[in-house]
Amino acid sequence: MASTHESGHATNVANYEQQISYCVGYGATYNPSKVAIKTASMSTQLTSAISVQSIVNQKLNVYSAAVDAREILFEPLSVLVTKIMNALKSSEVTVQVVTDAKTLSRKLTGKRATPKSKRALDAFIDSTHEGAKTTAPADGTVIPTDPKEISSSQMGYDNRLENFSRFINLISAELGYAPNETELKVDTLNTMVTNMKAKNTAVINAITALSNARIERNKVLYKDGTGIYDVVMASKAYIKSVYGAKSPEYKQVSKLKFTKPR
């Protein structure tokens, strides 16, 4: 998806290089008075455009790698939480601790505490009958318009990281939780939390770097008046005025497509 999003900018840069090549090929007859559309000025701007686009591609690769690394680390989390819960249930801990841990484990695995709300389902069934009332209850409860389950899970990376950290803090405080399996030991789990935080931070920082690189790229390519998009339009207008709308020179450049993001 990201490469598709970036392809339009890369095409603009490539077509800008072709536009300049055509202008150089016209020789002395391409002699605009406007400095920005002289071949020397456009060539300098092309160098900048290639540079900023290259930086965007580099930052995009870093971002993709960071996202992949985070996904790999988070992917087995649900299975691990289930193992921890089973280990906790078989440990010398109180029922209350197990209950508290269950609440967090459901958020981490995307499971609901109870089956589908009968009240919500009944309300939907009633609303499908002719003449049924669909007004909201006096207590302000929102009734779903279909019987689909409203998920109570918090499966985003930030939420999962926060809930897993709370989950590990909870069981870490229990001396009765002392499994012999290395992957379930508190020290191992704390190390995993640290790694998860690092991977999540890496994605956040990669997003910032990529966003800033795109801002700088867009200034070179699309800034009003000075970006390559406006320069190209001015150059095309000059070629049309000098050689004519039906000239082979104008037909050359008119086939070059440039797009500008809204």
Has residue 5 got a pLDDT over 70? no
Has residue 102 got a pLDDT over 70? yes
Residue 242 belongs to a domain: yes
3-state helix, strand, coil in the chain (%, to 5): 70, 0, 30
Residue 228 phi, psi (nearest 5): -65, -30
Has residue 47 got a pLDDT over 70? yes
Residue 27 belongs to a domain: yes
The 10s digit of each residue's pLDDT in 115-129 is: 554 444 344 334 444
* SS3 state of residue 145: coil
- Pair 6, 69 in one domain: yes
Alpha-carbon distance of 5 to 67, in angstroms, equals 17
3-state SS, 93-125, equals CCHHHHHHHHHHHHHHHCCCCCCCCHHHHHHHH
pLDDT at 125: 36
Average pLDDT over residues 20-48: 98
Label residue 198 by pLDDT band (50, 70, 90): very high
Residue 181 belongs to a domain: no
How far, rounded to the nearest angstrom, does the alpha carbon of residue 256 sit from its chain's CA centroid? 31
Residue 168 belongs to a domain: no
- Using a 10 angstrom Cβ sphere, with 0-12 exposed, 13-18 middle and 19 or more buried, the burial of residue 130 is exposed
Label residue 3 by pLDDT band (50, 70, 90): low
Average pLDDT over residues 6-24: 95
Alpha-carbon distance of 225 to 216, in angstroms, equals 16
- Using a 10 angstrom Cβ sphere, with 0-12 exposed, 13-18 middle and 19 or more buried, the burial of residue 31 is exposed
Residue 160 belongs to a domain: no
Domain boundary residue among 129, 151, 173?
151
pLDDT at 254: 96
The 10s digit of each residue's pLDDT in 118-176 is: 444 344 334 444 444 444 334 433 333 333 333 444 678 999 999 999 999 999 988 99
Range of the domain at 135: 114-151
Residue 193 belongs to a domain: no
pLDDT above 70 covers a percentage of the chain that reads 82
Residue 196 belongs to a domain: no
Among residues 234, 232, 240, the alpha carbon closest in space to that of 256 is found at 232
Cα separation of the two ends of the chain: 19
Residue 137 belongs to a domain: yes
CB 23 within 8 A of CB 42: yes
The tally of domains found in the chain comes to: 2
Label residue 204 by pLDDT band (50, 70, 90): very high
Alpha-carbon distance of 67 to 73, in angstroms, equals 10
